[in-house]
Structure 1
Amino acid sequence: MVSNVSLRLAVVGAGPVGLTLALHAARTLPDARVTLFDARSAGADVSSDPRTIALSLGSVQLLQRLGAWRAEAAQPIVEVHVSQQPPSLGGVLGGLLGEPEVRIRAIDEAVPLLGAVLGYGDIVAPLQQVWADACEREPQRLASRFGVPVTALKPLDSGVEVDAGICEAFDLAVVAEGGVFSDQLRKAVTHDYQQTAWVGTVTLQGARPGVAYERFTRHGPAALLPLKDGRAALVWCVNSADDPVAELNDVQRLAVLNTLFHPEVGRLVAVSPLMHFALGLNAERSLTDGRTVRIGNAAQTLHPVAGQGLNLGLRDAFELVRALAHLSADQAAAAKDIDAVLRRLEWKRGPDRWAMIAATDFLARSFTWQLPGAGTARGLALAALQAWTPVKSLLARQMMYGAR
C-alpha cells in the first residue's frame, strides 16, 4: 500500500486538463509529490492561442476554486437556443407547433450562468501561472518538466516508469495529452464521421448578448458561441465528401451563414478566415491500465455537437483527485491500495463518460442518415423537450455538471 506521504504522481500533458489535475492534486493531496511533463517549453506563449472553448458552469467553478479563473476574459452564457433549419414539421404539425425550438435559460435553472466562452489561451495561461507559483512555493514536492517529451510509460510491479530522457518511477501516471482526432492513434471505440468542422469568428448585428445558438441544418450542426464586442465563435459542421464550404470565399460564406441561423441571431456582417479539422469519435473502453490513467482527449475525443469534450476531461481530473483523496483520508479501511481506488474511479466515471459519448455519437451519426422523416423526428424531439420542463431541466443540469 502506498501512503499519502510517499505518493508519487506523474501528469503527462500541460493542457487545461493536465494543469487542472496537477493543481487540484497539489492542493487536495498536501503530501503527494506531483511532477508535470510537457513537450513544449516553459517559455512558450500559450496566452495567444485563439481557439475558442465553451466551459460548463461546473468547469468554471472548478477553475475558480483553483484560483485560475479570469472572469474579464470570459463571456458568460445565460441562454442556449437550439433550433432546426426549416421546414422541420410539415402540414398540420407545422401549423400547430410552428418551427420547434428549445430554450435553456440560466434564470430558469436558478444559476447565474450556464457556462462561459473564452479563448484556449485564456484558460491555459492562468492555470500554468498558478501551477508555476505553486512549484516555486513547494519545490520539494511539486515539479515541472517542460520541454521534455515523454517517450514511454513502462508498467512496474507497483507503479509506472516514465521515460522522458531520464527514467523515473512513479506510483501513478496520468496521461492528459490527447490532440485532435486526425492526429490520434485509434483507440478501442472509434468512428470517423466523415464530417469537417469549420471554425472561426463572426461579427453579429442585433444579437442578444450571452446567448449560444445551435442550429441543425441539412449538412450538419452549426453553432454560434457568444463572445464580447458583438462577436461569436462559429463551429460549422458539414459532410466532408460534399463540403459546401471549402470552395467558397469569405463573402460567399457570410452569405450562406446568413441563411442558416435562426432569425433571432440577427445579421452576420463579417466572418474571419476559417480553419477546418476532421471530426470523429475515438475513445478508450477503460480509463485505467494498471497504474496508468488516461483522461480528457487521451481517454475520449468527441464530436463538438454538444461542446462537452473539455468539460468531460475536467470532470475526469476532478474525480481522479477525489478518489486519491479518499485513499489518503482512510487508507486502512477505505482504500487498501491505489489499484482499488482506480477500480472505483472506473465505476464512478462510467455513467458520465458513456452517457456523453453515446449522446454526441447519436447526434453526429443522425446527420448521415438518409432516412425519410429524419428532420421531422428531430423537430418533434425538440418540440417535446421544450414542452417537457422537468426533462429539459435535467438535461441542463447534465450539461452544467455532468451525470451524477
Structure 2
Amino acid sequence: MSNTPPLRLAVIGAGPAGLTLALHAARSLPNASISLFDARPVERDVAGDPRTLALSLGSLQLLQRLKAWPALDAEPILQVHVSQAPPTPQGLPPVRITAAEQGVEQLGAVLHYGQLVAPLQAAWMAAAAAEPERLITRFGAPVAAVKPVDQEVEVDAGIAERFDLAVIAEGGVFADQARKSLTHDYKQNAWVGTVTLADSSPAGVAYERFTRNGPLALLPLKPREGKRRAALVWCLPKDEDEVATLSDAQRLTVINTLLADEVGGLQAISPLKCFPLGLNAERTLVEGRTIRIGNAAQTLHPVAGQGLNLGLRDAWSLVDALRREADVDKALRSVEWQRAPDRWSTIVTTDFLARTFSWRWPGLPAARALGLAALQHLPPLKNALARQMMFGRR
C-alpha cells in the first residue's frame, strides 16, 4: 500500500479548460482533493453566452469521454475550405479537407461558449455534490495571489490555503491580460458576430479566406428558424479598420466581396464585437508547483482556430501525468516535455501566419494562392496537416 498522501489540487478558472481538467481529475485521481475557483458566482447563468468555440475532433472526443459533450447543440464541421482572395493567378484551387477523405464522421464542431460551459459546470456540480469533502467548489471567490511556499503553493482567495499543485486556467482576452514572456501586438482587430447564409450555401463547411488585410472565417452554426447560420471572425489591421463606421448593410456588402463564390453570399449580419489581437505566451508551462493551461499559458491569433483545442490537450495531458506519477515534480517535468512539440509548433505556425498579413510585399497573395494549390495537390502533406489540426502534434 502506498504511503503517498492524497494530492491537494487547486484549479483556478472555470472556463472550458479549467472545468475539463477538474472533471477529468475528479474521475481519474480518486484520492485527490480538488478545489475549483472562479470569480463568477455559481448562480450566474452561463448557458446564454454567445461567444463561438471551434473544437477539433480530438477535443470533441475528450469531452465525449467525460460524458459532457452537448452533441445536440453543436454543428459538425464536415469540410474545411481555405482560399486566397484576389489578386491571384486564375484557376488555382483552394485547399479542401473533408471528413470523408480523412475517414471520420466530422473534422470538429462549432457551438457557443455557454453551450459547452453549462454542461461541463453541471457535471462538475453533480460530482461535487456526490463527494463534497473531496471536490470543493469555490465560485464567487476571485483569486488574488498564487505564490510558492516550500514544496507547496499558496492560493489566496480571501483565505490563504496551501495546495500541492495549482493549475491556472483563467485566460481572458489579449487586451486585458498582463504581458507574459513572449508577446506581440499584431495591431489587428477581430470583428466577431453571426451571419445568415444563403439557402444555397453547403452545410457543415468552415471557410477560411485569406484577404489582403487579414483572415476572414465563417464557422457553421446550428440553423435557426430554417436559416443556415455561421459565426464570423473578420480580422483587419487597426490603422485601416473602418468597420465601426459602417452600417450592417455596408458590412454585408464588403464581406460578400471578400468571400469565395462557393459561400453563396450572406443575407444578414448580427451586431459585431471587436477584440484586439496579439500573441501572449509563457516560455514554460510550469513554474514551481504552478502550471498554466489554455489562454493562461498562450493566447494566440485566431487564424488557425487552435487556442482552446491546445488548452484542452494541456488539461488532459496534465491529469494523465499525475495519474501515472505520484511525484508531482516529476509529473510536471513530464508534462512540460510532452506538451512542448504540440505547443510550440502551434504557437510558431499561428504567429507566422498572423505576421504575414502585415507584410505588403508585391506578389504575396499570389504566393499564398500557389502554396495553397500545392498543398491541395499533395495529399500526404494535406492529410498530415488535417491530422494535426484534428489531434495536435503527437
TM-score w.r.t. length of structure 2: 0.97
Residue type of the alignment partner of 2:42: A
**3-state SS in 2 of match to 1:392:** helix
Counting matched residue pairs gives 388
The structural deviation recorded for 1:375 is 1.0
Query: Could you say which residue in structure 1 is the equivalent of 2:142?
Result: 149
**Pairing partner for 1:277 from 263, 266, 275:** 275
Aligned residues of 2:81 and 2:206 also touching (Cα < 8 A):
yes
> Structure 1 regions of 5+ residues with no counterpart?
329-336
For residues 148 and 234 of structure 1, the distance between their equivalents in structure 2, rounded to whole angstroms, comes to 34
What SS does the corresponding residue of 1:41 show, helix, strand or coil? coil
Is 1:169 the equivalent of 2:162?
Answer: yes
1:346 matched to 2:336? The reply is: yes
CA distance in 2, matches of 1:244, 1:110: 43
Cross-structure match for 1:382 = 372
Aligned counterpart, 2:266: 268
State the distance in 2 between where 1:152 and 1:256 align: 46
Asked if the contact 2:92/2:370 (under 8 Å) is kept, the reply is no
What is the CA deviation profile of residues 204-230 of structure 1, one whole-angstrom value per residue up to 9, with x for unaligned ones? 111101000000011110000001220
Code of the aligned partner of 2:344: W
1:227 alignment partner, SS class? strand
Question: 1:244: how far off?
Answer: 3.5
Q: 2:184 aligns with which of 185, 191, 201?
A: 191
SS for the counterpart of 2:325 is: helix
Rounded to whole Å, the distance in 2 between the matches of 1:129 and 1:178 is 21
Other-structure match for 1:226: 220
1:27 aligned partner: 27
Report the Cα offset of residue 100 of structure 1: 3.1
Task: Deviation per CA, 1:120-168: give whole Å up to 9, x if none.
Answer: 0001000000000000111121111000011111201111011111111
Q: Hey, what's the Cα distance between the residues in 2 that align with 1:196 and 1:3?
A: 54
Secondary structure of the corresponding residue to residue 348 of structure 1: helix
In the TM superposition, residue 319 of structure 1 has moved relative to its aligned partner by 0.5
1:65 corresponds to 2:65: yes
Cα separation, 2, equivalents of 1:250 and 1:62:
38
Tell me, in whole angstroms, the C-alpha distance in 1 between the residues paired with 2:375 and 2:180. 34
Alignment of 1:5-404 (within 5 A): 5-89=5-89, 94=90, 98-205=91-198, 206-229=200-223, 230-328=228-326, 337-404=327-394
Measure how far apart 1:287 and its partner are. Answer: 0.2
Residue 10 of structure 2 contacts residue 166 of structure 2 at CA under 8 Å; is this kept in 1?
yes
Deviation at 1:246, TM superposition (A): 2.2
1:371 Cα shift? 1.2
Contact 1:280–1:302 under 8 Å retained in 2: yes
Cα separation, partners in 2 of 1:315 and 1:247, compared to 1, 3 Å: same
Q: Kindly tell me: are residues 389 and 209 of structure 1, through their superposed partners in 2, closer, same or farther at Cα, counting changes over 3 Å?
A: same
Cα offset for 1:5? 4.6
- Secondary structure, aligned partner of 1:246: helix
- Letter matched to residue 220 of structure 2: P
Asked if 2 retains the 8 angstrom alpha-carbon contact of 1:281 and 1:361, the reply is yes
Report the CA distance between 1:257 and its aligned residue. Answer: 1.1
- What is the percent sequence identity of the aligned residues? 65
Letter in 2 for 1:397: R
Q: CA deviation at 1:3?
A: 6.2
Give the Å deviation of 1:99.
Answer: 3.0
Q: Secondary structure at the match of 1:60?
A: helix
Query: What is the alpha-carbon distance in structure 2 between the residues aligned to residue 199 and residue 370 of structure 1?
Result: 25
Conserved 8 A contact 1:5-1:32: no
CA distance in structure 2 between the partners assigned to 1:49 and 1:371 by the alignment: 40
Check conservation: 1:222, 1:235, Cα contact below 8 A.
Answer: yes
Deviation (angstroms), 1:4: 5.8
Deviations 1:44-85 (A, max 9, x none): 011010001100001111111111111110000000000011
Q: What per-residue deviation string (whole Å, max 9, x for no partner) do you get for residues 235-292 of structure 1?
A: 0000111114221110100111111111100121101111111000000000000000
CA RMSD after TM alignment: 1.1
AA at the equivalent of 1:232: A
Indicate the residue corresponding to 1:333 in structure 2. none
Q: What secondary structure does 1:228 align onto?
A: strand
Runs ≥4 residues deviating over 2 A: 2-5
Contact 2:86 2:365 in 1 (8 A): no
Q: Tell me the alpha carbon deviations over residues 161-201 of structure 1, each in whole angstroms, 9 at most, x when there is no partner.
A: 11111111100000000100000011000000000000001
Identify if the C-alpha distance between structure 1 residues 263 and 140 changes in structure 2 by more than 3 Å, giving closer, same or farther: same
CA contact (8 A) 1:282 1:300 kept: yes
Aligned residues of 2:187 and 2:276 also touching (Cα < 8 A): yes
Paired residues of 1:4 and 1:29 also in contact (CA < 8 A):
no
| TM-score, normalisation: structure 1 | 0.95
